[in-house]
Amino acid sequence: MQEFTIDAGGQPPREVNRTLKEKASKYKKIVIENPNAAHYLVAGLTEPIDVEIAGSAGYFAATMIHGARVHIQGNAGWFPADNMTEGEVIIEGSAGDGVGQGIYDGTVVVKKNVGSRTGMIMKNGTIIVGGNSGFMNGMFMMGGRIIVLGDIAKDAGESMMGGTIYVGGEIESLGKNAKVKELEAQELDELRELLTSYGFQLEEAQYQKFRKIVPWSKEPFYGKETEEG
C-alpha cells in the first residue's frame, strides 16, 4: 500500500507514534495531519519510510530515528533529529536550539533559521541551515559537517574536536579550539552539488564567500593546545 494518514488532532504524541510504528511496515508514506506542534513526533522510528508532518512539530521531532525520511512542512522546536543514526529530516521553516544534537549519520536540513548549539556533540552526518545560526554552533562536535548559508553567532565551533563548519555569511566570533580556513576547490564543488540537490539556489559569488571552521587541535583537552597540520 502507498499512503496512510494519521489525524493527530486531540491525540497524545505517544498514541500517534504507536499508530505510526504499527503502520510503518505496511505503507511507503505516512502523513501526520493536525500535528499542532506536538512534542516527540516520529520518535524512535526505525522503518525506512517517508513521513510528512503537515504543519509544525514541537520538541524532539524525529528523535532517535534510523532510516526514516521525515519532512516537516512548518517549524520545529528544540532538538529535531536528536541522536539520529540514519535517515533524513527536512524542516521547511525554522527550528529551535540543538538541531541535530548528537547525530551519528544522516542529513538534517532546516530551510530557514536555527537557534543555538546546532550539531552539538554530533559524530557524523550533515546539517544544512538555510538561514542564520545561533551561538555555539558545533559545540563539542566530533565529526560530520554543518553548512550555514547565513550568519553564525558567537563562539562558533566551541571546543570542537572534529568535523567542519561551512559558513556563507558572517562569523561573530570563534569558540575555543576553532579556527577559520579557506575552502579547497573540491569542497566548493561538493557544496554546490549538495545544496542544489536540496533546492538552494546560490549565485557563484555566494559560494566564493564560504569559509570553514575546523578544530585548531584534535586533542584540545590533553596537554598543550597546538595547531594540527
What the chain holds in terms of domains, given with CATH numbers, is 3-215 (2.160.20.60)
| SS3 state at 77 | coil
Asked if 70 and 53 touch (Cβ cutoff 8 Å), the reply is yes
* pLDDT, tens only, 73-83: 999 999 999 99
* pLDDT, tens only, 196-213: 999 999 999 999 999 999
Distance CA 55, CA 103 (A): 24
* pLDDT, tens only, 118-134: 999 999 999 999 999 99
